Amino acid sequence: MIQVEGLSKKFGDFTAVDNISFRVDSGEIVGFLGPNGAGKTTTMRILSSYIAPTSGKASVGGFDVVRNSLEVRKRIGYMPESIPFYTEMRVKEYLSFRAKLKGVARKERRNRIAFVSERCRIKEFENKIIGHLSKGQRQRVGLADAIIHNPPILILDEPTIGLDPHQIKQTRELIKELGKDHTVILSTHILPEVGMLCNRVIIIHQGRIAAMDTLSNLVKEQRIKVEIQGPISDIENTLKQIENVKSVSYTTDNLWNIITIELSEVRDIREQVYQKIMENRWIIREFKTERTTLEDIFIKITAREEGTSSAGA
């Protein structure tokens, strides 16, 4: 559905996207994950043929984004990050305008507008002026606009940014639904979101693809954090003996040892840890499994990259 080869985009001296290649198959939901300024928006703008790449090739639905940009644009529904609107228009007017522009046949137009209004839950404010809508409502109109011509491919730039938790949940559910009959590329910098929505993650860092895999493969490693009182050397040695423990590190805070246990594989060792603590009659005040954050993945990935490059040199 989407094929990208050696894509680069430079703005003056600044390289926003640096030689990336990937493909997205029909029916997939793929997440672009990366911190702000990683090159997500630039990549999406190239895919939606808003800007042209400096070098490399990208095709969407079998059409080149530069040479066949009109064909590409007929097949995508793109929602930019800031979701800009003509604020003086009414929601329904706007959708009708966009439907016409995107070539929805006159006969189907009314049906399509009714359909997307239903699906994106904009029925109750369809006669409001867009300038008066809340952020969450604008978001829904943006999504409705993206799917109004029933495109096979959806490109959504940060679809949940700036929403409250309730709206985020609703938007995610909607995207998940849309993913059933659309190929979706979305960008985000929220790690759990990718886990909830996407089959596959592409992690972008400084314009390059740092990793591309399923999320469960990427977030393999886990951590357990415990705070216990006791002789630290004993604690360290005992905990290290547990199977699958990769490393044990600690800091001390008065009498308390704050211990981080890193695992080499996803395996539940909480019981073993607890038993060891009980056997030794250490005092415990906190015990938790730590979520891997985006930062952790990045640190790991960049560390790995540096490792391989120094090994190669």
Please give the residue ranges that form the binding site for other proteins (CB under 8 A): 11, 45, 48-52, 70, 73-74, 76, 78, 80, 82-89, 97-98, 100-103, 145
- Name which of 28 and 71 has its Cβ closer to other proteins: 71
- What are the strands of the beta sheet with 76-79, ordered from one edge? 76-79, 153-156, 183-188, 29-33, 200-205, 208-213
CA-CA-CA-CA torsion sign (115, 118, 122, 126): positive
- Name which of 151 and 273 has its Cβ closer to other proteins: 151
- Name which of 91 and 261 has its Cβ closer to other proteins: 91
The span from the CA of 94 to the CA of 96, in Å, is 5
Give the number of other CB atoms < 10 A from CB of residue 109: 16
CB of 127 to other proteins, least distance (A): 15
Whole-Å CA distances, 287 to 83, 176, 248, 291 = 43, 34, 14, 13
**Token pair in block for residue 313:** 């040199």
CB of 103 to other proteins, least distance (A): 6
Residue 282 burial (10 A CB sphere; 0-12, 13-18, 19+): middle
CB of 23 to other proteins, least distance (A): 21
CB of 52 to other proteins, least distance (A): 4
CB of 1 to other proteins, least distance (A): 17
- Name which of 17 and 263 has its Cβ closer to other proteins: 17
- Name which of 83 and 239 has its Cβ closer to other proteins: 83
The span from the CA of 197 to the CA of 209, in Å, is 20
User: Is there a contact between 254 and 267 (Cβ–Cβ < 8 Å)?
Assistant: no
- Name which of 11 and 274 has its Cβ closer to other proteins: 11
Contacts 24+ apart (CB under 8 A), 211-219: 211/297, 211/301, 212/22, 218/297, 219/195, 219/292, 219/297
